[in-house]
Amino acid sequence: MVDMKPRRRVRVSRTAICAGADLLHDPSLNKGTAFTEEERDVLGLRGLLPPRVHSQDDQVARSMENYRRKETDLGKYIHMMSLQERNETLFYRVILDHLEEMMPIIYTPTVGKACQEYGHIFRRPRGLFISLKHRGQIAEILQNWPYVDVRIIVVTDGERILGLGDLGADGMGIPVGKLSLYTACAGVHPSQTLPITLDVGTNNEGLLNDPLYIGAKERRVRGQEYDDFIDEFVHAARQVFPHALIQMEDFGNTNAFRLLKKYRDNLCTFNDDIQGTGAVALAGIHSALRITGGDLKDQTILYLGAGEAAVGIANITVSAMVAEGLTEEEAGRRQWLVDSKGLVVKSRTGLADHKLPYAHDHEQVGDFLSAIETLKPTAILGVSGQTSMFTKQVIETMSKLNERPIVFALSNPTSKSECTAEEAYTWSKGEAIFASGSPFDPVEYEGRTYVPGQGNNAYIFPGVGLGAIACEACRVTDEMFFAAAKTLANLVSEPDLEKGRVYPSLTMIREVSAAIATAVAEVAYESGIAGRKRPDDLEAYVRSQMYVPEYESYV
C-alpha cells in the first residue's frame, strides 16, 4: 500500500489564498473581465484587467466572434481548447449556448484531426500521462492531480483512436473531449473529471519518426507486462479516487473485450466503444422501427465490422430481442457480422473470441454485398472504419429488399463514414432511414428535406456516468445501458421522425442526460448496487447535481 500524502482540496474556496495575477491564471476560477468592481478591490485585481466590467453574455459574444474568424475546424478546435485553458466556466457557457455548432468541433469529427496533430498543436497539458516508467509509483502519480473529489475518469491507451488506429499518447484528445462532454451534456462538475492516457508505446511508424511526438518512442508493450501495468493503474485509481467511475476508451479490440470482462464485476467501469455504442445504436433502431412499424424481434441486422462497436451493438440488441420474447439463441441468429475476410461463419478458423457468439452455421460469403443478397437484412450498420463501403449497389439492394431500409453509417470521423447522408437518401430514392456517427447537414431530395440523425455516444455515456455517480453505484451493468437506450428512443418526437431523424436534437442533450441518469440510477437502486440512500424524488436529486456554467460571487 502506497502512503497517501496530504492532498489539498481545490474549488472556489481557493480564492481565500488565490488572488491577483494567480487568480487570473487559474482557469477554474478566472472570470476575466466579468470580475465585479467589488471583487477587483477585494482580490487585488485593480489594474490587471481593463476597467470595464463585462457580463458573461458579452464574453460569449466576443469568444464566438473570434471563433468564427477561424478558417479551419482545427483552428476552431485550438481556439476552444485555449479558452478552456483560460476560463473554464466561459468555455462551457459557450458550448451550451451553441451546442450544435460546437459538438463537431470539440468532439467528432474534428477531435480526430486534433489527435492526429496533437504533438504539433500541443500547448498546455491536460490530464495525466502515465507511462511504463511510472510502474510501481502510479498511485503517487495520481496524487499529483490537484482535485480530490474525482468522480469520472476517462482513460485510453491510444491504440484505436476512433477509426484512425494507433495514435499512442496523441490520443489524449479523446479523454479530454469525452470529459468536456460529461460536463457540457450532463453537468458533471469539471473538477470531478480526470482524463488519463496510459502510454504503453505505439506501433505507428509516423509517430515513432516524428520529432514532435509527445509520447515515449517505444513499441507497444503486450502480454503480461501490459496486464500488470493496467492492473496497477486500476488498483491505484481505486485507492486514490475511491468514488470514481472509470470509463475505458479507444483500447484495441483484443484488450478492450478482455479488460471489460476482467474488471466489470468488481469495479465501477464500462467501455464506451462497446456498451455506449451499443446503446446509442439500439436506441436508433427502436426509433427507426417507429417509422417502419416493425418489431425488433423480427429484424435481421448485418454489421459491416466485427470489432468492439459491432459486438457491443449485437450484444445489447440480443438482450432487447430476448425481452420481446425470443430465446437468446434465436436473437443471436438475427445478428450477422462481416469482417475483412467476409461473413463471419462457424466454419472459419482462427476467429477472435469476441466474434464467436455471432459465428453462425452458414456457407462462406466473401463480401458485404453478397452477404446482403444472401441474408436479406432489414438493417445494415457500418462500424468498420472503412470509408465508402455502403456503395450505390449496396443501398439499392437494401431498397429492393425493404420498403424502408435502415442504414446506419456509424464509423468516425466523417472521412471514415461508410456513406454520406446524401448518398443514402439519393440512392434509396428517399426511403432510407439513415443515421451516422459524424454529423451531416440536412439533405434536399425531390422537394423534401431529410434531417439525418447522428448516432453520437454523447447521447448515452454522459447520462450513464451521471446516473452512476449520483447514486454512487459500485458497478455499471448492461441493464443500465438497456435502460439508457429505451429512454433515449422514447425522447424522439413525432416531428423528429417525420424528418427522418431517429435521435432528438442535440439542443435537448441536457434533458436527455437527466432522463437517462434517472433511469440508470433507478436500475442501480432496483439491483441493490447503489451506495447511497435513494432520495424521495430521484429525478430532482439528479438534476440538482448538474453543474451550470455560471460565475459565482467571490465576495
- Alpha-carbon distance of 345 to 307, in angstroms, equals 15
The Cα–Cα gap between 165 and 155 comes to 16
Q: Closest Cα partner for 388 from 410, 417, 368?
A: 417
Distance, C-alpha 108 to centroid of its chain = 9
How many CB atoms are located within 10 Å of the residue 166 CB? 21
Kindly report the CATH number that applies to the domain delimited by 273-555: 3.40.50.720
Measured torsion, CA atoms of residues 205, 210, 214, 215, in degrees rounded to the nearest 10:
30
CA separation for the pair 354, 337 (Å, rounded): 11
Rounded average pLDDT per 10-residue block, the chain, 555 residues: 43 55 94 97 96 98 98 97 97 96 93 96 95 97 96 98 94 97 98 98 98 97 97 98 97 94 96 96 97 95 96 96 96 97 94 95 95 98 94 98 97 92 98 94 95 94 98 97 96 94 94 98 98 97 97 92
Contact 129, 169 (CB under 8 A): yes
Query: Partners of 436 in the beta sheet?
Result: 409, 454
Output the pLDDT for position 3. Answer: 52
Alpha carbons 158 and 249: distance in angstroms, whole number: 8
Joined grid coordinates for residue 524:
442501480
**Mind telling me the catalytic residues?**
107, 178
Bridge partners, residue 433, by sequence: 406
Cell 452512476, residue? Answer: 468
Residue 271, SS3 per DSSP? strand
Q: Nine-digit cell at 147?
A: 482535485
Report the distance separating Cα 455 and Cα 283, nearest Å.
Answer: 9
Where exactly are the structural domains of the chain?
A: 12-251, 273-555
Angle (deg, nearest 10), helices 173-186 and 509-527: 90
Cα distance between residue 125 and residue 335, in whole Å:
43
CATH assignment of 12-251, among 3.30.530.20, 3.40.47.10, 3.40.50.10380, 3.20.20.110: 3.40.50.10380
The DSSP line for 413-431 is: SGGG-SS-HHHHHHHTTT-
Residue 335: what pLDDT? 98
